[in-house]
Chain A
Amino acid sequence: MSQIYAVLVDGVMYAAWLFLVALGLTLVYGVLKILNMAHGSLYALGAYAGVTLIGPWVAQGGNLYVSYLLLVLAAIVAGGAIGFIMERGILKRFYGQDPVVLLLVTYALFLIMEDAIKLVWGVDPYTVSEPYSFLGNFDLGDLSYPNYNFLIVGVALVAGIGLTAFLKFTRSGRLLRAVIHDREVSQAMGIRVSRYFVVTFMAGAVLAAIGGALTAPTVSVAPGMGVEIVVLTFAVVVIGGLGSLPGAAFGALLVGLVRASAVHYWPQGELFSIYIVMALVLAVRPKGIFAPLEARKI
């Protein structure tokens, strides 16, 4: 297979994985205007919940097709529950304050969750890789890719298209867009903004957790896994424009393709490549490529 095709396939796979996790981050920023530093911890929480549920299932010879559903189920329950507790228990008390205060609050939540994860699951790594290889491989030229990677591409597409369709074509989605546009006027018009806030935060948490749960079979689930992802997803949403779904998709695709090109043609520059893209984009468009327009308030 030509190297350029390998770059495209590797880039798209990486982009899909990044987009799946970045989606929740940009959604939460779009609605609540919170740059959620704890997003990485929610990703890690999803991974831990996933391996905790499917570990015994796989060990007892359970159906591996069911294990994929269990991964998503674990992520929904864990992400939804912790997302609810975080929003209702902590974040709602800080709405209206300086964005920097909220950034610090979510950073504190990140630190608390990192320690809580260690308290619950310890520091030893968890590995349940059976679902990764179970789906077999797909041959592209002389390279073969695990079908599981295509599954993640599919889930990312479903999540992105589903969320866009929800915002565009459903009544709740249109109301949520109104909240995004102007929360004060929305409140004045009778929209229960606080309900939209909690549901949106839970949705963002669930998306992060699904990203973590689906990543779990491909890695060793260990403390610290949330730190790396939060830096990468921040790069993605900053490139695309905070709060923009098409921006997150574009940012993920750009980062994925640039990184894959670096891996194939300039391996030593892999790490550097992502941040040079971010720096170049921000130099030209400081609010990101697809930064949503903001109405000026008088």
Chain B
Amino acid sequence: MKRVIQRGMKPLALALAAGAAIASVAATAHADAKPIKIGIVTFMSGAAAGPFGVPAKNAAEVTAAELNAGKVPAPYATKGFGGAPIELVYIDEAGSTSKQVSEYRNLLNQGVDYVVGYTSSGNCLAIAPVAEEMKKVTLFFDCGTPRVFEDASFKYVFRPVATATMDNVGAARYVAERKPDLQTYAGINQNYAWGQDAWADFEGTLKALKPNAKAVSSQMPQLGAGQYNAGISSLLAAHPDVLHSSFWGGDLEGLVVQAGPRDLFKKSLTVLTAGETATHGKTRLPDGVIIGARGMYGMFAPDNALNRWLRTAYSAKFNDTPSYPSYKMNQSILALKAAYEKAQAANGGKQPAPEQVIASFEHLAFDAPAGKIGLTLGKGHQAAQGTAFGVVKNVNGKVTVTDVKQYSIAEVTPPEGVKSAEWIKGGLKH
């Protein structure tokens, strides 16, 4: 009997030993997998660092660390990118556009596999053709201009977050619904592409939605001007029913501080399309101001496992809640992981070539804390998202939002192949 058992046990022991050996080799293979090096470009100095660059960098750091530790919920539970650990290389986005082009080339010389970066629309427009020339998969994580994929086509460039069209169309829809008797509106936006495009989209949408309403003032102060009292006087004198601003960072905080005592926000229904970043500092947005977060981010994000994970992991590491630039950076890295692992699976589990990652990235649908995201625009390179707006209500010194209204992709984004400006001018039809 004993011999029978021993004889029967022998193949089993061999099988177990072989299994253990394979497992050990596999584990070693994973442990020894070449790291995936990602270049992260964001503002680490200058006025945009505090509201944008630092929260984005923090998000990159926490996302990479959690992915490497395998702590991110499904469908991102595998370690790193398909088992290969992620390594981040940071570059400061501060400085001229020409400097960014040089820095981009330097980044590639450091052997990065992918680049995720850029808040400035000007930098995105300049980097896209360089990325194409250098054949490096590059993801834009924050810049808003829709022109990147509306005016050109790129193979290596992706933007897994939405454009700024969504912000201003959503803002116009919200104020039109909230103030049905809207007769006059005005704006205060920074005098560069971002502010000018934001005002044009907002004004164009209101022209379509409220043809009888008219613009009574459009203030265009210099980026970083700091002093807005003359503009505030002009806006107060114009008595607009609705006031629109795409101000961000120090400009937004300065406007809030200077307009508050003069009751500008009480006299006009005010919508701040990038207002969410101002809820993270000490600036107090007054009750009644409408804010957006450039997508379903921050206080507008849905209650799902990925959102809960991001908020918990970010807060644990940085003792703060993630703002919308953090969400957008996180969303971009998760998109890259989804595309990479899809390509890896199609490649029989082996490390995919950049072309294979591109093939799996185009028209990708992936999960993010903001929900399901699809790259349905720009020939599959540009994400389309819905957005939300709400009204600020300060509760025990904490900013909350009430009357949140969500807008679907079709309500705030043009269909594929149609330019944002033309879509708005044509009456926002699908």
Q: How far is the CB of B230 from chain A (nearest CB, A)?
A: 4
B50 at the A interface (CB under 8 A): yes
Determine whether B356 belongs to the interface, using a CB cutoff of 8 Å to chain A: no
A4-12, A64-72, A236-244 - the one binding chain B: A4-12
Interface residues of B in 84-136 (CB under 8 A from A): none
Report B's interface with A, CB cutoff 8 A. Answer: 44-47, 49-51, 53-54, 191, 217-222, 224-227, 229-231, 233-234, 236-237, 249-250, 253-254, 257-258, 260-263, 281-283
Check B233–A125 contact: CB distance below 8 A.
no
Contact of A123 with B50 at beta-carbon distance under 8 Å, contacts A10-B230, A11-B230, A132-B257 already known: yes
Interface size for chain A: under 10, 10 to 19, 20 to 34, or 35 or more residues? 35 or more
Check A133 against B227 for contact (C-beta < 8 Å): no
19 chain-A/chain-B pairs, Cβ below 8 angstroms: A1-B237, A6-B233, A6-B237, A13-B229, A17-B227, A123-B50, A124-B281, A127-B281, A127-B282, A129-B257, A129-B260, A133-B260, A143-B237, A219-B257, A225-B226, A227-B224, A228-B224, A264-B230, A264-B233
Query: Which of B46, B220, B249, B282 lies at the interface centre, i.e. has the most chain A CB atoms within 10 A of its CB?
Result: B282
- Name the distance in Å between A28's Cβ and chain B's nearest Cβ: 22
Docked complex Cα distance between A132 and B191 (Å) = 26
**Is A222 an interface residue, CB under 8 A from the partner?**
yes
Asked if A224 is at the interface (CB within 8 A of a chain B CB), the reply is yes
Indicate whether A260 reaches chain B with its CB closer than 8 angstroms.
yes
Q: Are A268 and B254 in contact (CB under 8 A)?
A: no
How many residue pairs, one in A and one in B, have C-beta atoms under 8 Å apart?
A: 135
List B contacts of A271 (CB < 8 A): 191, 221-222
Q: Are A270 and B220 in contact, with the CB atoms below 8 A? A: yes
The answer to whether B227 and A14 touch across the interface, beta carbons within 8 angstroms, is yes
Measured in the bound complex, the distance between the Cα atoms of B46 and A227 in whole Å is 10
Expressed in whole angstroms, the minimum distance between the Cβ of B341 and any Cβ of chain A is 34
Given contacts A146-B262, A268-B220, 8 further A-B contacts (CB under 8 A): A118-B45, A125-B281, A222-B249, A224-B46, A259-B230, A264-B230, A268-B218, A270-B191
The complex places the Cα of A145 from the Cα of B261 at a distance, in Å, of: 8
Contact indicator B250/A10 (Cβ below 8 Å): no
**Cross-chain contact B191 with A145 (CB below 8 angstroms):** no
Contacts of A223 in B (CB 8 A): 45-47, 49-50
- The 0/1 profile, CB within 8 Å of B marked 1, for residues 225-264 of chain A is 1011100000000000000000000000000000110011
A219 contacts across to B, CB distance below 8 A: 226-227, 250, 253-254, 257-258
User: Does A3 make an interface contact (CB < 8 A)?
Assistant: yes
Which 10 pairs, one residue from A and one from B, show the smallest C-beta to C-beta distance? A220-B253, A10-B230, A123-B49, A224-B47, A263-B230, A133-B261, A220-B250, A219-B254, A129-B257, A127-B282
A 141-172 binary contact with B (CB < 8 Å = 1; else 0): 01111100100000000000000000000000
A217 to B49, CA, bound (A): 21
Q: Which residue of A lies closest to B231 (CB)?
A: A263
A52 interfacial contact with B, CB 8 Å:
no
Given A220-B283, A224-B46: A125 and B229 within 8 A (CB)?
no
A contact set with B: CB distance below 8 Å: 1, 3, 6-7, 9-11, 13-14, 17, 118, 123-129, 132-133, 137, 142-146, 149, 215, 217-220, 222-225, 227-229, 259-260, 263-264, 267-268, 270-271
Cα–Cα, bound, A32→B283 (Å)? 41
List B contacts of A224 (CB < 8 A).
Answer: 46-47, 224, 250
CA–CA, A263 and B50, complex, Å: 28
Given contacts A218-B257, A223-B50, A270-B220, contact A127 B226 (CB under 8 A): no
How far is the CB of A270 from the nearest CB of chain B, in Å? 6
> Which chain A residue has the least Cβ–Cβ distance from B46?
A224
Return the chain A residue nearest B224 by Cβ: A228
Query: Closest Cβ of chain B: how far from A120's Cβ, in Å?
Result: 14
A6 x B254 contact (CB < 8 A): no
Contacts of B51 in A (CB 8 A): 125
Whether the pair B283, A137 counts as a contact (CB closer than 8 A) is no
Q: In the complex, how many angstroms separate the beta carbon of B99 from the nearest chain A beta carbon?
A: 15
**Nearest A-chain residue to B234, judged by Cβ:** A264
A48 and B263 CA atoms in complex are apart in Å by 27
Look across to chain B and name the residue whose beta carbon is closest to the beta carbon of A17: B227
Closest to A127 in B: B282
Complex-state Cα separation, A118 to B47, whole angstroms? 11
Q: Given that A123-B54, A222-B250 are known contacts, is A137 also in contact with B261, CB under 8 Å in the complex?
A: yes
Nearest B residue to A7, CB-CB: B230
Min Cβ gap B152→A in Å is 28
The answer to whether B234 touches A263, judged by C-beta atoms less than 8 angstroms apart, is yes
Known: A127-B281, A133-B260, A142-B237. A263 touches B219 (CB 8 A): yes
Of listed B221, B230, B231, B236, residue having the most chain A CB within 10 A: B230
For B50, what are the chain A residues with a Cβ–Cβ distance below 8 Å? 123-125, 222-223
Closest to A3 in B: B237
Shortest A235–chain B CB gap in Å is 12
Instruction: Provide the bound-state CA to CA distance between A223 and B234, in Å.
Output: 28
B77 CB to nearest A CB, Å: 33
Q: How far is the CA of A294 from the CA of B113 in the complex (A)?
A: 62
From known contacts A127-B253, A224-B47, A271-B222, infer whether A143 and B230 are also in contact, taking CB-CB under 8 Å. no
Given that A14-B229, A124-B50 are known contacts, is A220 also in contact with B217, CB under 8 Å in the complex? Answer: no
Across-interface contacts of B250 in A (CB, < 8 A): 125, 219-220, 222, 224-225
Bound complex: CA of A263 vs CA of B236, how far in Å? Answer: 13
Per a CB cutoff under 8 Å, which of A6, A17, A146, A215 touches B234?
Answer: A6
Q: Are A228 and B281 in touch, CB under 8 angstroms?
A: no
Tell me the nearest residue of chain A to B258, going by C-beta: A218
Measured between C-beta atoms, what is the minimum distance from B266 to chain A in Å? 12
Structural contact, B283 and A127, CB atoms closer than 8 A: yes
The answer to whether A225 and B233 have CB atoms under 8 Å apart is no
Nearest Cβ on chain B to A283's Cβ, whole angstroms: 23
- Complex interface: chain A residues within 8 A of B231 (CB): 263, 267
Closest residue of chain A to B221 (Cβ to Cβ) is A270
CA distance A128 to B250 in the complex (A): 13
> With A and B bound together, what is the CA distance between A272 and B44 in angstroms?
29
Interfacial chain A residues near B218, Cβ < 8 Å: 267-268
Whether the pair B262, A137 counts as a contact (CB closer than 8 A) is yes
Q: In the assembled complex, which residues on chain B have CB atoms less than 8 Å from the CB atom of A267?
A: 217-220, 231, 234
Q: How far is the CA of A52 from the CA of B250 in the complex (A)?
A: 17
Bound complex: CA A250 to CA B274 (Å):
38
Minimum CB–CB distance from A226 to chain B (whole Å) comes to 11
Smallest CB gap from B252: residue in A: A220
CB distance A124 to B233 under 8 Å?
no
Name which residue of chain B comes closest to A260, CB basis.
Answer: B230
Chain A residue with the shortest CB-CB distance to B278: A220
Question: Residue on A with the closest CB to B282?
Answer: A127
User: How far in angstroms is the closest Cβ of chain B from A258?
Assistant: 11
